Amino acid sequence: MQMNFCSHCGQPVRLVIPDGDNVQRHVCVACGTVHYQNPKIVAGCVPEYEGRILLCRRAIEPRLGYWTIPAGFMENGETTQDAARREAAEEALAEVEIGSLLAVVHVLHADQVHVMFRARLPAPQFGVGRESLEVMLCDEAGIPWDDMAFRSVSFALRRYLDDRRNRVEQHHFTTIDFRRQPPG
Amino acid sequence: MQMNFCSHCGQPVRLVIPDGDNVQRHVCVACGTVHYQNPKIVAGCVPEYEGRILLCRRAIEPRLGYWTIPAGFMENGETTQDAARREAAEEALAEVEIGSLLAVVHVLHADQVHVMFRARLPAPQFGVGRESLEVMLCDEAGIPWDDMAFRSVSFALRRYLDDRRNRVEQHHFTTIDFRRQPPG
């Protein structure tokens, strides 16, 4: 959302390049506070139970009705693993054990960094969280690739399956930038 | 910095738990905007030239006068590798080649995630950037462990040296929380 006012003193902000900086920032005309904007972390996981993967169909925008792995914005005071575990509990009512780092996806058009982990679902116990329409365990052949919510999720799932086939657990970086390469 | 006013409309905010949430947020009393606060990413690298490591002595607070690897806040529109490379250029006037992921440090008391990479300095060319007092290439025996700026930096350096000794390039997660375990 557009920043118009200083969150510290309530007076208007202007977009200027502060002394010693080289990027435009929102700076308060009254108290001089510089308001930096930085990428946010989205943490998620690929929970597996006996070879099948836990997927959620989104009940919220963006991408309502499309499929995703449990993932969401990291909160202050938690680790990326904590955040991934919490999102699985919230979206799929699933208590997962977070494993190794799977993917780091720079989503440049959204100012987000997606950090995805492998995870183990110890028992086939899950449900439909309030941000989900439907939650399912599905085998590789059943993954709805054409109805995935986000390209970062497809990337993480494909790397997960490739690595599983090769019996390795690597981590994978990639960058998605719809400013240059529009979706579709 | 304390949030007192809505950055969208300029009216006061209150700390409340929004409907469907379970965490206190700053919510505008006038336009209802919920202002989320999330961890920031600090990206950095351990640049090596012929076995020696590039360190910077900080010219700015916090920890002015103490030693660090080049590192700083990730900006919107860049990857974590871009950010690590840019910080080496700014703080040490060094053009580095970013390598593998070295460390992810959750700094819970600061609401930061530090992401550190290995890096190669192709030539012994560097200088003193405006946020540094001094920049040096030092061998393992010369690292000023007692004068390091941040525990995340010491962690990354130790893991770097251990892995180098063992001829592996692993990545290492850790959590630092001065809310429970004060420094010193």
Q: Which among A76, A86, A132 is the top mutation candidate for probing chain B, defined by the most B β-carbons within 10 Å of its own β-carbon?
A: A76
Tokens linked to B107 = 């700094």
Tokens linked to A124 = 């086939």
Tokens linked to A94 = 């699933």
| Chain A nearest CA to B59, separation (Å) | 13
Tokens linked to A139 = 């085998």
| Chain B nearest CA to A141, separation (Å) | 32
How large is the ipTM? 0.95
Stretches where chain A sits below pLDDT 70 are: 181, 183-184
Average pLDDT of chain B, as a whole number: 96
Scan for tokens 């986000």, then name that residue: A150
Q: Which helix (H) or strand (E) holds A25?
A: strand A25-28
pLDDT tens profile B68-106: 999 999 999 999 999 999 999 999 999 999 999 999 999
pLDDT of residue B2: 81
Integer-rounded Cα Rg, in Å, for chain A is: 19
With CB atoms and an 8 Å threshold, state whether B73 touches A36: yes
Q: Which residues of A touch B73 (CB under 8 A)?
A: 36, 38
| Chain B nearest CA to A50, separation (Å) | 27
The DSSP secondary-structure symbol of B161 reads H
pLDDT tens profile A36-78: 999 999 999 999 999 999 999 999 999 999 999 999 999 999 9
The Cα-based distances of B174 to A173, B103, B105, B114, B115 in angstroms read 20, 8, 5, 10, 11
Report helix, strand or coil for B12. strand
One-letter amino acid identity for A153?
Answer: V
pLDDT of residue B180: 74
Rounded CA-CA distance A34/A39 in Å is: 16
pLDDT of residue B138: 97
With CB atoms and an 8 Å threshold, state whether A41 touches B41: yes
Higher per-residue confidence, A181 vs B159 = B159
Query: First-to-last CA distance in chain A?
Result: 25
pLDDT tens profile B99-126: 999 999 999 999 999 999 999 999 999 9
Contact status, residue B135 vs residue B64, Cβ threshold 8 Å:
no
